[in-house]
Structure 1
Amino acid sequence: MLFQSSVRKELARSFGATLVVLVTVVVTMTLIRTLGDASRGTFDPADVMVIMGYTVLSDLPTILTLSLFIAILSVLTRMYKDSEMVIWHASGRGLAALIKPLMRFSWPILVAIFALAILILPWAFGRIEDLRDRFEKRSDLARIEPGQFQESANGDRVFFIEKDKQDNPVGRNVFIVSREPDKEIITSAKSGQVQWLDGGKFLVLENGQRVEKHAQSQEVTISTFSRYSARIGTDDHSQRSYVPAASINTLDLLRNPTPLHLSELSWRVGVTLAAFNLVIVGLAMAGVNPRVGRSGNLGLAFLGFVVYLNMLLMGKNWIANGQIGFLQYMGLLHGGVFLAALGWLSLRHNAWSWRHLLR
């Protein structure tokens, strides 16, 4: 009992340290990727931290799974290296007797992974899509950036404006190109500002010219003006039309079991099953080779985790394309890994060798 308690305490320390390191790495990588998306105009730069938080939250099931696997493997490998496992075996307890303390430590983490994958993951993806959609539907005025060419929401206008100061409401050197079905209009002015006229937002231009080129007759009309008003598009507050499968809640996926929905469901359920299987795999894989050291065992374990994760992603695509059924995939991958882990654990628990099995 004392031994099991000490094992759980050491697992908790190792799991906490591993989780902090992995979260730090994921936050850094997510921040770099989100900043790149914001610079390309995918997100509002003001929402970078919010989007990064949602992204890290959606990655937590995978992070917790890897942290749990590394913690189990590193603690048990350390016990082999310091001969604590020799004392454990000498007391008449086999390797399979460690399943109970490992499961007592792992079950809260497995429940957290399941809750995050089933409930939090679609919610986080939905908030990210809402922020992306709201930024794409922003008004033409919000799209204008000093010193940059910006396209309107419907794609029929291109704006350019210069500003001396960010808080100055009046801009100078305004340039607008708009396309209509039968003509193209180029408007330029020395200055411009936004005003409310007749209950709507207008961009009021002063001291400029307007060039109209007709598409069929190729006729060009040039006119000058001292004051010209152009209506600015307002924000589009309509609901998001595109709903990716990752943002659909789990109950809706079950109510409408299309191949695309089942593929997303296989990922959410598969992360929890993978975490459970990796607990047994970590127990079966634990050990130390004096010629290689701990790094070789951890490297092999990380390679196995990457392969398992890639199989989850590949199976998700196969189910979406109709190449394999949902139950077949879950049984072959997770059931196969579970049986293989139990077989490997049985070999080590009974100290069997391949020569013994052949006999």
Structure 2
Amino acid sequence: MILRRYMTRQVISTTLIVLMFLMVLMLGGRLIRYFGMAAEGRLNIGFLFSIIGYNMPTFLELILPLSFFVALMLVLGRMYVDNEMSVLFSSGQSRGRITRLMLPLILVLFLVEAGVSLWAKPYGVAQTEKIWQTQSLSSAFDMVKPQTFISSGDYHFYVGSVDKDKRELNDIYIIQQSPNNLTQDVIITAKKAQQVLTNNNAPFTRLDLYNGRRYEVDNASRQYNQTSFEQYRISMAKPQTDEITEENITSQPTVKLLNNLNKPEAQAELGYRLSLPFLMIIACMLATPLAQVQPRQGRWLRLLPAILIFVACAVSIISLKTNISKQKLSVWSYAWFISFAMLACLWLNVQQQVLHHFRYRKAKPINSLNGGV
């Protein structure tokens, strides 16, 4: 009981330290990017910390298993270097016994990782997408800058000036790119534009243009048609979130994926979410043998190669997701890979005992013969 508390406390504290370090490292680059977007007017500063908060589960999904693995390598490596493992082994303890001491902690982290993968990350991604959608023209009046281009789907806007209340845009130039690679583009100019208030759940964002011209340009012949108007309304379709597609699959709830298992994208995403918690078990089974070092070697000797091996396991799961979504592999590839990884880790844990057993049995007849002589 004392040994279990000691190891659990050491692993938890080291995991939190490594997790905080990796989180700061990951968030640093993302914050620089978001602050740059806010400075350019492409992101409302009020949404900045909301986006960071909703992105936290995305970071935790892979950082948490890696932090747990690094913590195990550091704690077990120190115990080998300080000869604590030698004392435990001489008192009758084994690798399997030491691993079983951490089963409660592994179970808790398994459930935490499952919660992040199955619920927290999809919810965070969905909320982040909603925030980014509000950065389209439906809310761009709050952050638009004069003489700046704004992109929203197939539309690209140039705004000459804005009134002080940011309720009206002046000197508008709009380029509507042709969908599906057609050969015709549309250019619209207007003296002013006003946003049409609609329900937030409406599938379209509408904008009224006044006193302008509309040009239909044929990209092949360079000919165009010109039309003048006093008032012209354009509608921009919002991204479709109800239908599961390759673009929005990560934001779909797990329950919705279960109801659409006939789609390869849903199968790949669901298998990916169910496979990630098993990285906690693989981390423990892999760290126990790889952390073994001689006292004079130092606990940092095997840390980098072990991290590369563990990262290779995580990358393999990600690559399986890509290949399964493209129907190159079966969804059962997740189960085969997890089983293979666990068997390989199990062999690393018992190989010394197995090899020692075979050597002992091979040497036993020779010793018996010598005794008879």
TM-score normalised to structure 1 length: 0.78
Work out whether 1:345 is the aligned partner of 2:349: yes
State the Cα distance separating 1:176 from its structure 2 match: 3.6
**Cα contact 2:147–2:160 (8 A) shared by 1:** yes
State the Cα distance separating 1:92 from its structure 2 match: 1.4
State the Cα distance separating 1:135 from its structure 2 match: 2.6
State the Cα distance separating 1:35 from its structure 2 match: 4.3
* Alignment-derived partner of residue 292 in structure 2: 287
State the Cα distance separating 1:3 from its structure 2 match: 2.1
Work out whether 1:148 is the aligned partner of 2:152: no
State the Cα distance separating 1:177 from its structure 2 match: 5.4
State the Cα distance separating 1:101 from its structure 2 match: 1.3
Work out whether 1:255 is the aligned partner of 2:259: yes
The DSSP-based 3-state class of the residue aligned with 1:146 is: coil
* Alignment-derived partner of residue 324 in structure 2: 319
In the superposition, relative to structure 1, how do residues 303 and 214 fare at CA in structure 2: closer, same or farther (>3 Å)? closer
For 2:142 and 2:166, locate their aligned partners in 1 and report how far apart those are by CA, in whole Å: 15
Work out whether 1:334 is the aligned partner of 2:333: no
For 1:330 and 1:6, locate their aligned partners in 2 and report how far apart those are by CA, in whole Å: 35
For 1:278 and 1:95, locate their aligned partners in 2 and report how far apart those are by CA, in whole Å: 14
For 2:120 and 2:317, locate their aligned partners in 1 and report how far apart those are by CA, in whole Å: 19
User: After the TM superposition, which of the residue ranges 42-51 and 228-237 deviates more from structure 2?
Assistant: 228-237
Number of positions where the alignment pairs a residue of Structure 1 with one of Structure 2: 339
TM-score normalised to structure 2 length: 0.75
Instruction: Give structure 1 stretches of 5+ with no counterpart.
Output: none
For 2:176 and 2:239, locate their aligned partners in 1 and report how far apart those are by CA, in whole Å: 25
* Deviation by residue 1:206-250 (Cα, 9 ceiling, x = unmatched): xxxx778797997999x9xxxx97567689788646642111221
Work out whether 1:301 is the aligned partner of 2:287: no
For 2:81 and 2:15, locate their aligned partners in 1 and report how far apart those are by CA, in whole Å: 19
* Alignment-derived partner of residue 120 in structure 1: 120
For 2:323 and 2:26, locate their aligned partners in 1 and report how far apart those are by CA, in whole Å: 27
* Alignment-derived partner of residue 27 in structure 1: 27
In the superposition, relative to structure 1, how do residues 123 and 202 fare at CA in structure 2: closer, same or farther (>3 Å)? closer
**Cα contact 1:44–1:135 (8 A) shared by 2:** yes
User: After the TM superposition, which of the residue ranges 244-253 and 36-45 deviates more from structure 2?
Assistant: 36-45
* Alignment-derived partner of residue 199 in structure 2: none
In the superposition, relative to structure 1, how do residues 235 and 324 fare at CA in structure 2: closer, same or farther (>3 Å)? closer
The DSSP-based 3-state class of the residue aligned with 2:160 is: strand
Work out whether 1:136 is the aligned partner of 2:139: no
User: After the TM superposition, which of the residue ranges 78-87 and 95-104 deviates more from structure 2?
Assistant: 95-104
For 1:147 and 1:317, locate their aligned partners in 2 and report how far apart those are by CA, in whole Å: 41
In the superposition, relative to structure 1, how do residues 322 and 238 fare at CA in structure 2: closer, same or farther (>3 Å)? closer
Mapping for residues 101-250 of structure 1, pairs under 5 Å:
101-136=101-136, 138=138, 141=141, 144-150=144-150, 155=155, 158-162=157-161, 174-176=171-173, 186-187=189-190, 240=241, 243=244, 244-250=248-254
State the Cα distance separating 1:271 from its structure 2 match: 0.7
* Alignment-derived partner of residue 14 in structure 2: 14
The DSSP-based 3-state class of the residue aligned with 2:88 is: helix
State the Cα distance separating 1:304 from its structure 2 match: 1.0
State the Cα distance separating 1:19 from its structure 2 match: 1.8
For 1:283 and 1:47, locate their aligned partners in 2 and report how far apart those are by CA, in whole Å: 43
The DSSP-based 3-state class of the residue aligned with 1:92 is: coil
Instruction: Give structure 2 stretches of 5+ with no counterpart.
Output: 178-183, 197-205, 363-373
Paired residue type of 1:281: L
**Cα contact 1:65–1:275 (8 A) shared by 2:** yes
* Alignment-derived partner of residue 66 in structure 1: 66
State the Cα distance separating 1:273 from its structure 2 match: 1.1
Kindly report the root-mean-square deviation, in angstroms, between the aligned alpha carbons of the 2 structures. Answer: 4.0
* Alignment-derived partner of residue 49 in structure 1: 49
* Deviation by residue 1:152-171 (Cα, 9 ceiling, x = unmatched): 7662x7432246x9668788
Percent identity at matched positions? Answer: 20
For 2:258 and 2:166, locate their aligned partners in 1 and report how far apart those are by CA, in whole Å: 54
User: After the TM superposition, which of the residue ranges 45-54 and 297-306 deviates more from structure 2?
Assistant: 45-54
